[in-house]
Amino acid sequence: GRSPLDCALLIRIAGQRMRERAIKTLVAWIDDFLPGQTFPHNDLRRRMRGSFVLALVAMQAGASIVFALSELFAGHFLIATLLAIGALMPIWPVWRLRRDGDVDFWSQVFIANMFFLTGFIHLASGGHSIGIVMALPALLLISSLVSTLRQILFWGLVVVLILVIGNVLRELPGPWWINIDSAWARASVGRVPVILAFCLLGMSVLLRWLLDSVFADLGATRQREMDAMERAQFDQRRFADFSEIAADWFWETDAQLRMVYVSPTLTEHTGLRPEQLLGQHPLAFVRQRHPDSPRLREIDGKMARGEPFSDELMAWHDESGKVTMFRHVGRAFRDDNGRLLGYRGAVTDITENWRLTRELERLARTDSLTGLLNRRAFGEVLSKTLAQARESGSPWWLLQLDLDHFKQVNDRSGHAVGDQVLIRVAEFLRQSGLPTETLARVGGDEFCALVREPEAEALTDYADLILAGFARLATEFGQPLGVSIGVARLHPEKGDESYQLRVVDEACYQAKREGRGRVVIA
């Protein structure tokens, strides 16, 4: 019930589908035989050239086989044998091309093989091979796809030479190994269009395969780029999260140690904008306040040598004089050859911890009631002073002051009044001229100090001033308050700090035995 036109359309559609299915089948077969995705080169352009050369090899082999069969059926066994050998000749360059991936070299080897085969067959036939004459321009066009301009000119000269020699041989008597007759020539005229049609079909299939391979490569490359971009974005977000958690701000320099990146959180901790530090040395903003810092010079040396540094404490003073303490960590980063590319560092604001640590250290070294050094801290000061006296030979004196009748003050007026008396005594001693950095409360009512004086007479003057001051304190508090003072020169060669304290303690005890309110020099 269908019209002839409908039937024609159905036949045409069926033919198109069969042709498309045949092409897809051939493309799949070629892709399995010559997998472009596994071509051993990372550069997409060179992969395309290599895949194209492999496709041409397959085409040459197929065309050679078809030509060989046609000549065999025509009775020309020698040319058929040569064509069959030509189908096998590309195996070696293909194997080397797939092995080392040198597209530029092995593509020219293949082209040389192609022109050698066609030229040899044409000359062996005495210049009568019409198929070769028609194929040479096509081969030259194919070679131009994988050759430079100089190489194209060379192969063009080869084609001209083959044609010229073929024309010369055609005028000579036919060679003995081939029978050139009119029947063979007429058969060649009929065979050539059929073979060329087959070659065009092969070219269309190969180009379809090549395009599919290229598109697959492009798609895979694009997917890899997208995956890499997603990973980079994820790593960037992860780095940003770690940055906020691990440190307060980060910096990075180039190979000349000039900052090329500073994280925006710098402003929160210093009031500076990141762009203010770009192009500067990482320590420049600290060096402005401490230009002669030995520690900064040491870090500069490490960075100049590409060495890491860590846990370096640096103070930042803003315009109002507020001090912020930072802990710096820096590491050099290099390329695969070990060449320095720059530094990356992290900075943490440790001001609160630093202040807390200093306060704890102060409390550990300070008497909580009077604010003077405690016994432990005074022992450390005495030990350092002994070492200094041992090295320099300078005269140092140790003073011990023991309050007289302080127990009566506590018994009569209570410990609160006793504490007030101790606080007032500490204040008086600070104002008496004794060096505060060596002044300490070493017991309940005992005080010690270290004084550097060349003569003992100067110590007597100190002691007289202190005795007179305590008389005023007794009047101020209305208490029978006094002080006994022992003085001893440090002798590092005789013993350590325990020995020195024992000597001055004996002198102070002797002052008490002799009636209190006096000075005894050991």
Strand 259-262: give its sheet, edge to edge: 259-262, 249-253, 340-349, 323-334, 309-317
Q: Looking at the structure, do residues 441 and 344 belong to the same domain, yes or no?
A: no
Residue 338 lies in a domain: yes
SS3 403: strand
In CATH, what number is assigned to the domain containing residue 306? 3.30.450.20
Residue 22 lies in a domain: no
The pairing of beta strand 519-521 with beta strand 482-489? parallel
**Domain carrying residue 294:** 249-356
pLDDT tens digit sequence for 329-379:
888 888 888 888 899 888 888 888 888 888 888 888 889 899 999 999 999
Q: Looking at the structure, do residues 164 and 277 belong to the same domain, yes or no?
A: no
Residue 285 lies in a domain: yes
DSSP-assigned letters across all residues of 48-74: HHHHHHHHHHHHHHHHHHHHHHHHHHT
Domain count, the chain: 3
pLDDT above 90 covers a percentage of the chain that reads 9
pLDDT tens digit sequence for 315-325:
777 777 778 88
Q: Looking at the structure, do residues 405 and 456 belong to the same domain, yes or no?
A: yes
CB 121 within 8 A of CB 174: no
CB 520 within 8 A of CB 400: no
According to DSSP, the residues that pair with 452 across neighbouring strands are: 396
Q: How far apart are CA 351 and CA 327, in angstroms?
A: 9
Residue 7 lies in a domain: no
Of the residues 312, 330, 356, the one at which a domain ends: 356
Residue 6 lies in a domain: no
Amino acid at 464: D
Q: At what angle do helices 44-73 and 4-33 cross, to 10 degrees?
A: 110
Query: What's the pTM?
Result: 0.45
Q: How confident is the model at residue 53 (pLDDT cuts 50, 70, 90)?
A: low
Residue 195 lies in a domain: yes
**pLDDT reported for residue 433:** 77
SS3 341: strand
Which single residue is written with the structure tokens 């019409």? 130
**pLDDT reported for residue 99:** 60
Q: Looking at the structure, do residues 388 and 343 belong to the same domain, yes or no?
A: no
**Residue 175 carries which DSSP code?**
P
Strand runs (DSSP E) across 118-202, as ranges?
Answer: none
Q: Looking at the structure, do residues 67 and 195 belong to the same domain, yes or no?
A: yes
Closest CA to 299 of 288, 318, 279, 314: 314
pLDDT tens digit sequence for 136-159:
776 777 677 667 788 888 888 888
Q: How far apart are CA 203 and CA 30, in angstroms?
A: 12
Of the residues 221, 239, 264, the one at which a domain ends: 221
Q: Looking at the structure, do residues 124 and 217 belong to the same domain, yes or no?
A: yes
pLDDT reading at 36 higher than 50: no
CB 77 within 8 A of CB 54: no
Q: Looking at the structure, do residues 135 and 208 belong to the same domain, yes or no?
A: yes
Q: Looking at the structure, do residues 341 and 386 belong to the same domain, yes or no?
A: no
Q: Looking at the structure, do residues 90 and 217 belong to the same domain, yes or no?
A: yes
Distances (CA, A) of 274 to 122, 140, 248, 280: 76, 62, 13, 11
Q: Looking at the structure, do residues 75 and 200 belong to the same domain, yes or no?
A: yes
Which of these ranges, 240-249, 267-276, 417-426, has the smallest mean pLDDT?
240-249
Structure tokens at 95: 């194997």
Residue 234 lies in a domain: no
Which single residue is written with the structure tokens 């391979």? 213
Which residues are CB-neighbours of 143 under 8 A, at least 6 positions away? 111, 114, 115, 151, 152, 155
HEC secondary structure over 82-126: HHHHHHHCCHHHHHHHHHHCCHHHHHHHHHHHHHHHHHHHHHHCC
Residue 435 lies in a domain: yes
Q: Looking at the structure, do residues 181 and 214 belong to the same domain, yes or no?
A: yes
Of the residues 332, 356, 380, the one at which a domain ends: 356
Structure tokens at 443: 């017991």
In CATH, what number is assigned to the domain containing residue 458? 3.30.70.270
According to DSSP, the residues that pair with 482 across neighbouring strands are: 404
SS3 412: helix
CB 30 within 8 A of CB 58: yes
